[in-house]
Amino acid sequence: MPAQAYSGKECVCKLRLASCDQSCVQDMLDTPFYVACLRLKGRSCLVVGGGDVGLEKVEGLLACDGDVTVVAPELSSELAQLAREGSIAWLQREYEPADLEGTFLVIAATNDTDVNIAVYDDAEARSMLVNVVDVPPLCNFILPAILRTGPLAIAISTAGASPALAKRMKREIGEHFGEEYARLAILLNDARGWAKATLPTYQHRKAFFEGIVDGDPDPVVLIREGRERAVLELIAQAQHQAQEGLAA
């Protein structure tokens, strides 16, 4: 259940009920979300709200190289420091619809229901990506818990049902998928150019990489044991066998 929506509390969504009856969130668990990874580098991202929640969202956007602007009359001390150092732009005033022009996505992180609804409506009218923190009915995308290790990113979502459970799963997954998986991803990426230039079809390339990843010995175990050179030898052997298969 979203933190800002539960029975008896003031309505925080577009229904504007006298008190929340959860009618806007009943279908969240049944909603199939299209999972995608967004490339934010160089894209304009807007965060409405300058408090601690806004800071959390800003940090996530900056980690993905987004160009972040925060609109808020005041900023938390941490956000103010980011503005001073030039990491973010700050519009020191209340939100205005024109703030969305030229923006790729917007996150509303305020405690003002009217502002949140306005941001959602304005963004939807522009067919933009919009997320209102802790109010899934006012979102057309949601933010899962993310485990990042090098080039790997593993997303865990409970469709807003339990962020605490998502965090626990993140911890447990992190204990299993460590640095060795990230290092293997880098080594395999180094072989992608060869595979694209040498192997004629998607099925050939798929068989090549799956033969390495699922092969014996296990490349993850080899890296975990500090035997990276053995993994490189596995890749070289797989390349040789693939070329022999094409020539046969």
| pLDDT of res. 137 | 81
| pLDDT of res. 5 | 47
| pLDDT of res. 248 | 78
- Residue with the two structure tokens 């626990």: 168
Strand partners, 131: 107
Nearest to 56 by CA among 109, 96, 115, 102: 109
Neighbouring CB atoms inside 10 A of 163's CB total 17
Nearest to 208 by CA among 223, 224, 197, 222: 197
Strands 145-149 and 152-156: antiparallel
Residues 50-99: pLDDT tens digits? 999 999 999 999 999 999 999 999 999 999 999 999 999 999 999 999 99
Strands 105-108 and 129-132: parallel
Number of residues that this document lists for the chain: 248
pTM for this prediction: 0.74
| pLDDT of res. 123 | 98
- All residue ranges of the chain with pLDDT < 50 are 1-6
- Does residue 122 contact residue 100 with C-beta atoms inside 8 Å? yes
Q: b/e string for 95-114 if b means 16 or more Cβ within 10 A?
A: beeebbeebbbbbbbbeebe
In the chain, what is the greatest distance between 2 CA atoms, to the nearest angstrom?
Answer: 74
Nearest to 185 by CA among 140, 216, 156, 154: 154
Strand partners, 146: 155
Residues 6+ apart with CB under 8 A from 172: none
Tell me the backbone φ, ψ of residue 156, rounded to 5 degrees: -125, 120
| pLDDT of res. 2 | 41
